[in-house]
Amino acid sequence: MRRTNPRPLESVMEAIRTAKSFALVSHVNPDGDTVGSVLALRQGLLQLGRPVTLFCQDKIPDDLAFLPGAEGFRLPENIAEGEQFDLLMCVDVSDESRMGRCASLMKLAKHTAQVDHHGTNPNFCEANCVDGTATACALIVKELLERLGCTITPEIAKCLYVATCTDSGQFSFPNTTAEAFDAMGDLMRTGFDLSGAHRKIYRERDPRQIKLLGRALNTLAFHHNGQIVSLQLTKEDMQSCNALPEHTDTIVNVGLDMAGVRMCVFARETSVPGTVKCSLRAVEPAAVDKVALAFGGGGHAQAAGCTLQMTVEEAVAAVVSLMEAELEKEE
């Protein structure tokens, strides 16, 4: 059924109505939801005749480059002297640290606002719409655009579909709601190319992704009587495959897809010495958000992440230890 109680978007809508120029910010290591949501919002603001600039500190993944406007993202360092914005909007950014270097842009904006669906979000902007029950940030953006009087065009629909589909595991994760399916019906009625978009994000794979998956599977280890799986990649693995961080995005899901597994951690050494990024996943009712928070990260109950300052082996051991503690609470 459709939502009967609109989200608390009034403060964000008012900030948009009074702003003449916009900076839209995606989170670090951008995924389908942050990119698709930003690009959909961009098109809506352009319908309203507002100039929009897009920012992200990291490269937009190749499998999302087909989305309209994806080529327009700028690095935060590429700011012209004296450039300012009436409103900086963070989209799908769970906290200020997830802006990365784009956090420096906040001082160039007269006002700040955000739309997000992470329950751990501390409401770090002036105007905040955070709905932790939303399947994807895209659903908040869709409602925002509709309430602003924007037309959901096929191009906007494509962006919102990719955003919702990727954050819901193709409408299969526990966070998938009836609202997500209602929204999907609306998007389908615009006539956007569903099969083409689906192939781009789920079927076409860079050879480097396949090579990395093979290396990660060689490290696969079971913990806690087979209920936890760990996978890892080193800097040398990344370099030998000539791979980018985006090529590792789906590896963690492979670990979670095995029978009997309730939690999975995928740890990847970054180019920064002693820094390891961890992706955490869980099968409901198990949850990993508290594990991520313990290491200064965040996310959702079944999908979260964190960055640790240690070796990749130490990172795996530390995360697995807390995962085991979480599972033991249920036993």
Give the CATH number of the domain where residue 61 resides.
Answer: 3.90.1640.10
Last residue of a domain, one of 148, 169, 203: 203
Q: Check if the beta carbon of residue 100 is closer than 8 Å to that of residue 28.
A: yes
What CATH number did the domain enclosing 281 receive? Answer: 3.10.310.30
Do 230 and 316 sit in the same domain of this protein? yes
Assess if residue 80 is contained within a domain: yes
Assess if residue 264 is contained within a domain: yes
Do 241 and 319 sit in the same domain of this protein? yes
Do 186 and 212 sit in the same domain of this protein? no
The total of other beta-carbon atoms located within 10 Å of residue 144's CB is 22
Do 173 and 264 sit in the same domain of this protein? no
The residues, ordered by sequence, that sit 6+ positions from 229 with a Cβ below 8 Å of its Cβ are: 220, 221, 222, 223, 255, 256, 258, 261, 263, 264, 265
- What strand order describes the sheet that includes 263-269? 221-223, 228-233, 263-269, 275-282, 303-309, 298-299
Query: Which helix (H) or strand (E) is 329 found in, with range?
Result: helix 312-330
pLDDT score of 1: 40
Q: How many domains does the chain have?
A: 2
Do 238 and 163 sit in the same domain of this protein? no
Do 150 and 252 sit in the same domain of this protein? no
Do 186 and 326 sit in the same domain of this protein? no
Do 52 and 194 sit in the same domain of this protein? yes
Do 184 and 268 sit in the same domain of this protein? no
- Domain holding 103, by residue range, is 10-203
Do 169 and 258 sit in the same domain of this protein? no
pLDDT tens, the chain, 331 aa long: 455 556 889 999 999 999 999 999 999 989 999 999 999 999 999 999 999 999 999 999 989 999 999 999 999 999 988 899 999 999 999 999 999 999 999 999 999 999 999 988 999 999 999 999 999 999 999 999 999 999 999 999 999 999 999 999 899 888 899 999 999 999 999 999 999 999 999 888 889 999 999 999 999 999 999 999 999 999 999 999 999 888 998 899 899 989 999 999 999 999 999 999 999 999 999 999 999 999 999 888 898 999 999 999 999 999 999 999 999 998 7
pLDDT score of 249: 84
Closest CA to 318 of 270, 267, 251: 267
Assess if residue 132 is contained within a domain: yes
